[in-house]
Amino acid sequence: MAMRAARRSAGFVALLLAVGVVVAAAFVDVRELAAAFLVAYAAAVSVVLGVLALTLIAHLTTATWFRPFRPRAQLVLTCLPALALVGVLLLLAIPVLYPWFDAANPAHVYLNTPFFIARWVVYWAVWIGIEASLRRARDVERSGDIEQANRRFRRAASAGLPLLALTMTFAAFDWLMSLTPDWQSSIYGVYWFAGGMVAALGLLAVLVRLIGAPSAEPSPDDVHALGKLMLTFILFWVYIGFSQYIVMWSGDLPREVTWYADRASGGWGLVAGLLIFGNFVFPGLLLFIRSVKRSVAMLTLIGAALLALHCVDTFWIVMPGLVPVRWWTVLITVASLGLLSAAAVVPMRLRRRAVPARTLPPEHLGGQPG
């Protein structure tokens, strides 16, 4: 009891410090604060959407290994409305963040403020709508009509996956790639998705330790399946990143290679090296070991590292050329991540109290038995 009270007190102090840092940053440099918020927001949203994608894939393929992870994934998805609400701050930051914003020339066909806002609304309507369709299917499941619930889950997944892929791609174009409107990459959205999937798998591994569910504890085979999928998406992430790089390098066009030149020079080159070794080489080598993939403790450590490095990856994508980076910029970004995490935890806690995982029998925590 005393330990729990101490953790709550420490969390409250950390929250106050994060609020203080963000408020101070608003007085120091609004553009720097907006850039830090964008990093935190893009990273957080990609992770939650990665969890949504995993849930849809599990229902579509009737993946039995996902059963013990599903209650935890459901908790993560409850924070989508909160993230949508917080995202209004991104819309307010358009004038200071995006170089295409020009009140004197607002007639660009795609990159203009009204259309940007309209697309933002569509993205969130689709994502929240997909989660709502899954929630309605779960209500049918709780009523006892498992066959009808499974049909609804599969319908939601069949329609939701293509919509999720399309909206995530264009959200990456709008929120991140349009920071450099003269530079384009057709697989930019896939890179953002791949990083989010890696971090989402890492989050689920961490939540196995953080959130106990007596009726939904993963077996070694379930943990092994999570580890294999984690390795798969690590390889997919590095494949997409390398493909994008090699296309730009072989084209050797000044307007294309500049983007990578900015992210390979000075200290940014060290960050790129950290991402290659920390997000690919080290976890990849570890996950080739069968015993590591079957260990909850090891996957928790790897998952926590992948989550942190996904934030670093987003920072590396957004910051070069946007604002001068200093220790204060990093501190604002960490504070923004902390506040976003706090905003996400509130609906997760409310949902966990309202519908605990044990209300579902173990055999109904995933799709049909495979």
pLDDT digits (tens, 9 = 90+) for 231-251: 999 999 999 999 999 988 888
Question: 48 lies in a domain?
Answer: yes
Q: Is residue 198 in some structural domain?
A: yes
Nearest 5°: the CA angle 113, 313, 111 is: 15
CA distance 74 to 357: 10
Closest CA to 338 of 303, 308, 301, 306: 308
Domain membership of residue 274 (yes or no) is yes
Residue 15 placed within a domain: no
Residue 357 has pLDDT above 70, yes or no: no
Give the pLDDT of residue 351. 65
In this prediction, residues 108-131 reach a mean pLDDT of 93
Q: pLDDT above 90 covers what percent of the chain?
A: 64
- Name the nearest CA neighbour of 75 among 206, 221, 233: 206
Which of 44, 99, 108 minimizes the C-alpha distance to 321? 99
Range 96-125 average pLDDT:
85
**Domain annotation covers residue 291:** yes
State the pLDDT at residue 354: 54
* Domain assignment present for 20: no
Q: Is residue 109 part of a domain?
A: yes
Which residues constitute the domain of residue 312? Answer: 28-364
- Res 181: pLDDT: 86
CB 69 within 8 A of CB 211: no
163 token code pair? 């919509």
pLDDT at 19 over 50: yes
Distances (CA, A) of 71 to 41, 128, 319, 365: 24, 18, 35, 7
Whether 137 is covered by a domain: the verdict is yes
Percent of the chain exceeding pLDDT 70 equals: 89
When divided into structural domains, the chain yields a total of 1
Task: Pick left, alpha or beta for residue 321 (phi over 0 → left; psi -120 to 50 → alpha; otherwise beta).
Answer: left
